[in-house]
Amino acid sequence: MITEEKVLTTLSSLNDPFLHRTFEETGAVQEIKIKEEKAHVSVKIALAKTGTSEQLQLQSKIVNALKEAGAESVGLRFMDLPSEVIEKFIENDESESLLSPGNKTTFIAVASGKGGVGKSTVSVNLAVSLARLGKKVGLIDADIYGFSVPDMMGISKRPVVKGEKIIPVDRFGVKVISMGFFVEDNSPVIWRGPMLGKMLGNFFNDVAWGNLDYLLLDLPPGTGDVALDVHNMLPACKEVIVTTPHPTAAFVAARAGAMAIKTDHEVIGVIENMSYFESKLTGEKEYVFGKGGGEKLAEELQAPLLGQLPLQQPDWNEDDFAPSIYEKDHRVGKVYMEIAQKLIDTL
């Protein structure tokens, strides 16, 4: 028989998708009603933000968890958390710096030797997949000249400033910051190296990231100023190198890997993107960009090949448009989930 205590215990470990704190910490469960004869459970939940796609995903988790606990049917109502509760967690988050010696965030830079291999697509989907696995994740669009993360993730709003800190935009459970938020009308960024380094420093020091398990950095392609600044700022950064199967792409990507190794960054894996195209009609695989580039690069860098991603467009949802994000149960989305799990196991 399901009881109020069992409902509370079942829900206490779930996370608010915006504060990244457990329901127990935020006091999210406001009301529980049980009709014993029908095993019907009604719950009122308070969240930092309501009426979002993240709420819809959380709703499914809550219903499934309560049914596994013994409920026959579940009724849910959502309300906004009191502003003082939200501010309390934001203030606690602001007090911690990502670059402070005691910070336990794992930094993962996603790099490539050249543009056009899908590095940013890998970055956003890897970040979302880690968040889907219950991790607290941040993402810096460090490709300051070629920023694309906000568009890829379907982010239309901008960060807000609270006190002296920038509050990052939260999308799919990932906290995001990008140069794209600070440029009007998709204007080009015409800056020299030192100015880029300063902007990158602001992303680390002036943003209220909170307690993160992982911070991913979508680096610009190649081995230029921004990539070098990241290597200097983050001595303990891990790196994932993205390539295509083409031998030339792998050859160029090896330079990014060599730079990581020379600056004492650990290359924790290689991801091969655009590995093949599989026909929906026949199931036949066509290796459009050749074969073997990812395996060869992994062997050269003495790092594991984390996954091979096929060519296939995400399923677009017009109600919650994010043009580059794969759903969890999409064929490519499942590969990203496997890669994210491998990273968690490795780290």
pLDDT of residue 264: 67
pLDDT of residue 214 exceeding 90, the answer is: yes
Does 216 or 199 have the greater pLDDT score? Answer: 216
pLDDT of residue 92: 56
Does 248 or 323 have the greater pLDDT score? Answer: 323
* Mean per-residue pLDDT, 100-108: 79
Contacts 24+ apart (CB under 8 A), 285-289: 287/245, 289/244, 289/245, 289/246, 289/249
pLDDT of residue 286: 92
pLDDT of residue 202 exceeding 90, the answer is: no
pLDDT of residue 308 exceeding 90, the answer is: yes
CA nearest 145: which of 98, 96, 188? 188
pLDDT of residue 167: 86
pLDDT of residue 338: 95
Does 62 or 189 have the greater pLDDT score? Answer: 62
Which of 12-16, 256-260, 330-334, 339-343 is the least confident region?
A: 256-260
Q: Where are the beta strands (DSSP E) in 253-344?
A: 266-272, 277-278, 285-286, 305-308
pLDDT of residue 223 exceeding 60, the answer is: no
pTM: 0.72
Does 40 or 211 have the greater pLDDT score? Answer: 40
Rounded to an integer, what distance in angstroms lies between the CA atom of residue 75 and that of residue 121? 37
* Backbone phi, psi, residue 244, to 5°: -105, 170
* Mean per-residue pLDDT, 105-131: 90
Domains and CATH numbers, the chain: 4-89 (3.30.300.130), 98-346 (3.40.50.300)
Distances (CA, A) of 319 to 53, 59, 149, 154, 333: 9, 17, 19, 11, 19
- CA end-to-end span of the chain: 40
* Mean per-residue pLDDT, 23-42: 88
* Mean per-residue pLDDT, 144-152: 84
Each residue's pLDDT tens digit, 241-266: 898 888 777 777 776 777 666 666 78
